Structure 1
Amino acid sequence: MGSFIKNFIRKENPSIYEDKDSHLSRTLEVKDFLALGVGTIVSTSIFTLPGVVAAQHAGPAVTLSFLVAAIVAGLVAFAYAEMASAMPFAGSAYSWINVIFGEGFGWIAGWALLAEYFIAVAFVASGLSANFRGLISSVGVIIPAQLANPLGTNGGIIDIIALIVIVLIALLLAHGTSEAARVENALVVLKVIAILVFVVVGLSAIHVENYLPFIPKYHPNADGTAFGGWQGIYSGVSMIFLSYIGFDSIAANAGEAKNPEKTMPRGILGSLAIAVALFVAVALVLVGMFHYTKYAGNAEPVGWALRESGHGIVAGVVQAIAVVGMFTALIGMMMAGSRLLYSFGRDGMLPKWLGQLNSKKLPNHALLFLTIIGVVIGSMFPFAFLAQLISAGTLIAFMFVSLGIYALRPREGKDIAVPAFKMPLYPVLPAISFLGSLAVFWGLDIQAKLYSLIWFVIGVLIYAVYGRRHSYLTQK
């Protein structure tokens, strides 16, 4: 037991990570990280969650749910920005926590993030498949149920569209980050234009009475959550928070950033600010167009609202761009997930094969492994099941990073460089960031918490049986 604890708290030397990650090609600039962040954050959820959360939890006050979730995400983003500026290593929270708290804590944070990336890749691919099938069905093209649904769902065997899109993104990323960044940048611009078109057109169909009462009267829902009042807004926050978690995917690619001390904070904070503005604008317009009760059980509220208000052509164009735009979230999550797996292999926490780079200095072994797992999960597990699991792992990592600021500050200017960006109002804001993340985690449903506990136990077992024995630190 003493040996286990000693291994658990041993810290990595930051200069070792600098040396290891020096083999990665630094090609990404601020514009690339802004596109990566916006593309990952503003994905499937902006076209679905505003209506769903308004109908189930918050009514017109869904905008307050988005703003509260944004405040918590923004506080965590400050912590991420300081960490990424001080330690621009691949693997984000895993590598940072390894340096400041120790190997075992780093593994837990990284293992929690890995759940996000595995599931988010599958979640977005599954959502893209559903939207694509809905789009082509309008012109009479129907994919057989066996190839349209996951195993055991509505007669399905495999979701072939989800499989194809994951493989296509993997092939794009295998050619290099600069090529992927160019595609990402173009698709993000297209997607933002589609959202702005919806907002402008939707403004012409707003009815002020739909905003009243802005905060509906509270009553409990049958599933144990709340509708109306501040309780409903809080229930909405926990559901909405998964919309903002994509900014951590920027930090995972810090090892490939040009001038990371400046580009990382600008990319993280800038992309989150843009995403918040877009989410709040869509939510305000959506609940103003029709009474929030109209969005109950509606899987495509944006397209529905446009069609019902007489803008059918605009609805078709916006939905078509939305489907294409979902590729941006897949690019971001697959880049981040493969870099995290590379970091595990680099340190010997998982097989070293994952930490090998190819002749183009790309971690394509890790990308291949992520692709296989994403294909299996995304093409064989239902969309609703995946949606419950995304936020839990990320929130655990967010709590680690928030507390990590307290361990980082005393070492800045010593064995860790003084970062170009520092979290403001230290030491108050890191504590508020931690408590905010904890509050959002507490608001998740019991199933999400249970699955995160199971994932945590599996992670500790893997560390005990494999990671600590094969770790690079053990072999020093």
Structure 2
Amino acid sequence: MTQKEDPSVYEDKDSHLPRVLTVKDFLALGVGTIVSTTIFTLPGIVAAEHAGPAVALSCLFAAIVAGLVAFAYAEMAAAMPFAGSAYSWINVVFGEGFGWIAGWALLAEYFIAVAFVASGLSANFRGLLASFGLSIPAALANPLGSKGGLVDIVAVIAVVVCAVILWHGVRQAARVENVLVVLKVLAILAFIVIGLSAIHVQNYVPFVPKYHANADGSAFGGWRGIYAGVSTIFLAYIGFDSIAANSAEAKNPEKTMPRGIIGSLIIAVTLFMAVSLVLVGMFHYTHYAGIAEPVGWALRHSGHTVAATVIEGVAVIGMFTALIGMMMAGSRLLYSFGRDGMLPRYLGQLTSKDGLPNHALLVLSVIAVAIGAFFPFEFLSELISAGTLIAFMFVSLGIYRLRPREGRDIADPAFKMPFYPVLPALAFVGALVVFMGLDVQAKVYSGIWFVVGLIIYFAYGVRHSALNQH
């Protein structure tokens, strides 16, 4: 469990991955992944169910925690630009067993997040069709056992399209990503500008509603409601891990990784807070209860029907950016497991022509299609944050083990987490506090996932690990 991988081994193994991604590509990848389905859904949901107009504070506090962890990620990625992000880093600084736990946690995020975004894209696409009086038969519109469904065919098609784009290389995928991210940000800015003309100041009063318990036992109003909103909103910000997972393909990673990670988070937080404030200003937060697409609803009910249709259309197209980002990062994580023998080595093989981890991409796509096509959207949304927060805690504490080795057996990076040794501890505590705010079901499912992971590690990983073959 405590055997540490030599960082030079990872440098050698990942040297065949082409370094083609720039700061612009990572900003697009980060913004595209973070500003995904969630910005068009979560602000309204959190306002109605937990925070009222103070949803903007939930966005801000979640961003502060994510920002602290992002500093740790930026230093790790600059010092160790390896595929697999937290999995590979923790392998080097804590040991193989701890690396497996962190990587297994992230693997849950990517399997589920790809399916979650595909399901969200499908829901928004069906909503867009409905505005034209069109619909998809229930059997092909919903997951198995949900509302008469057999398979969510739109989710399946979305994953397959993104897999085909990525199959041809990250340079081509980055070009598609860059264009779609610009379109999506323009759509969000258009909503903000139009929404500002329909704001009613009285909707902001009281800004922090009085606390009471919801029927399901969750908190509404007061600081407890804001805290509940933080834990819900936080799943939107975990996308910066997708940047770090691709650091082995970065040009000049010492500069590109910190700029990409921190820059994309700043852009995303600004957009989230703006959308939240505009939404609750347009209509009283109670109107958003049970509304799956509050941005489109607010525009339509304020008389901007054409704008609602256009923005929702661009939003659906823009959701492909999150799928591309998650699938790119998830396939690199699976590749890292195969590279190290922790999972079948087939996953760690690169294509002979382009040096791409397409075996891992294929397996990720098949699993994501199965999850997204057959499990409902609400079920998936509960499971994303838990595993990622555990990986975040590992990375935050990992700075204490990384710093003494920088300039020795690990490169001395140009970017370092400021206010060491205080900030890594704050990042750890922040991630722990957000984790404790998750609902019980999310914690139970993540516990089951970890038990399965430990069984696989001791039954397969330990025996086939490349580190244990030395």
**What SS does structure 1 have at the residue aligned with 2:469?**
coil
Is residue 2:177 matched to residue 1:177? no
Q: What letter corresponds to residue 336 of structure 2 in structure 1?
A: S
Tell me, in whole angstroms, the C-alpha distance in 2 between the residues paired with 1:151 and 1:53.
28
Q: Which residue number in structure 2 is paired with residue 96 of structure 1? A: 89
Deviation track 1:81-110 (CA, whole Å, cap 9, x = no partner) reads 000000000000000000000000000000
Tell me, in whole angstroms, the C-alpha distance in 1 between the residues paired with 2:131 and 2:46.
27
Q: Which residue number in structure 1 is paired with residue 59 of structure 2? A: 66
Q: Which residue number in structure 2 is paired with residue 3 of structure 1? A: none
User: How does 1:35-434 map onto structure 2 within 5 Å?
Assistant: 35-358=28-351, 359-434=353-428
Tell me, in whole angstroms, the C-alpha distance in 1 between the residues paired with 2:367 and 2:7.
30
Gaps of 5+ in 1: 1-7
Is residue 2:460 matched to residue 1:470? no
Q: What letter corresponds to residue 335 of structure 1 in structure 2?
A: M
Q: Which residue number in structure 2 is paired with residue 27 of structure 1? A: 20
Q: Which residue number in structure 2 is paired with residue 438 of structure 1? A: 432
Deviation at 1:134, TM superposition (A): 1.3
Tell me, in whole angstroms, the C-alpha distance in 2 between the residues paired with 1:323 and 1:26.
30
Deviation at 1:17, TM superposition (A): 0.3
User: How does 1:453-468 map onto structure 2 within 5 Å?
Assistant: 453-468=447-462
Q: What letter corresponds to residue 131 of structure 1 in structure 2?
A: N
Tell me, in whole angstroms, the C-alpha distance in 1 between the residues paired with 2:64 and 2:337.
31
Deviation at 1:310, TM superposition (A): 1.1
Q: What letter corresponds to residue 358 of structure 2 in structure 1?
A: N
Q: Please tell me the root mean square deviation across aligned C-alpha atoms, in Å.
A: 0.6
Q: Confirm or deny: 8 A CA contact 2:131 2:309 kept in the other structure.
A: no
Q: Confirm or deny: 8 A CA contact 2:43 2:276 kept in the other structure.
A: yes
Q: What letter corresponds to residue 201 of structure 1 in structure 2?
A: I
Deviation at 1:377, TM superposition (A): 0.2
Deviation at 1:137, TM superposition (A): 2.2
Q: Which residue number in structure 2 is paired with residue 5 of structure 1? A: none
**What SS does structure 2 have at the residue aligned with 1:11?**
coil
Tell me, in whole angstroms, the C-alpha distance in 1 between the residues paired with 2:133 and 2:211.
43
Q: What letter corresponds to residue 409 of structure 1 in structure 2?
A: R
Tell me, in whole angstroms, the C-alpha distance in 2 between the residues paired with 1:154 and 1:59.
30
Deviation track 1:369-388 (CA, whole Å, cap 9, x = no partner) reads 00000000000001000000
| TM-score scaled by length of structure 1 | 0.98
Tell me, in whole angstroms, the C-alpha distance in 2 between the residues paired with 1:285 and 1:154.
33
438, 441, 448: which one pairs with 1:447? 441
Tell me, in whole angstroms, the C-alpha distance in 2 between the residues paired with 1:287 and 1:143.
32
Q: What letter corresponds to residue 2 of structure 2 in structure 1?
A: I
Paired residue total: 469
Deviation track 1:255-291 (CA, whole Å, cap 9, x = no partner) reads 1000001100000000000000000000011101111
Q: Confirm or deny: 8 A CA contact 2:258 2:415 kept in the other structure.
A: yes
Q: What letter corresponds to residue 447 of structure 2 in structure 1?
A: L
Tell me, in whole angstroms, the C-alpha distance in 1 between the residues paired with 2:332 and 2:302.
44
Tell me, in whole angstroms, the C-alpha distance in 2 between the residues paired with 1:136 and 1:63.
31
Q: Confirm or deny: 8 A CA contact 2:332 2:360 kept in the other structure.
A: yes
Deviation track 1:323-380 (CA, whole Å, cap 9, x = no partner) reads 0000000000000000000000000000000000002100000000000000000000
Q: What letter corresponds to residue 141 of structure 2 in structure 1?
A: A
Deviation at 1:139, TM superposition (A): 1.8
Q: Confirm or deny: 8 A CA contact 2:211 2:220 kept in the other structure.
A: yes
**What SS does structure 1 have at the residue aligned with 2:56?**
helix
Q: Confirm or deny: 8 A CA contact 2:4 2:95 kept in the other structure.
A: yes
Gaps of 5+ in 2: none
Is residue 2:45 matched to residue 1:16? no
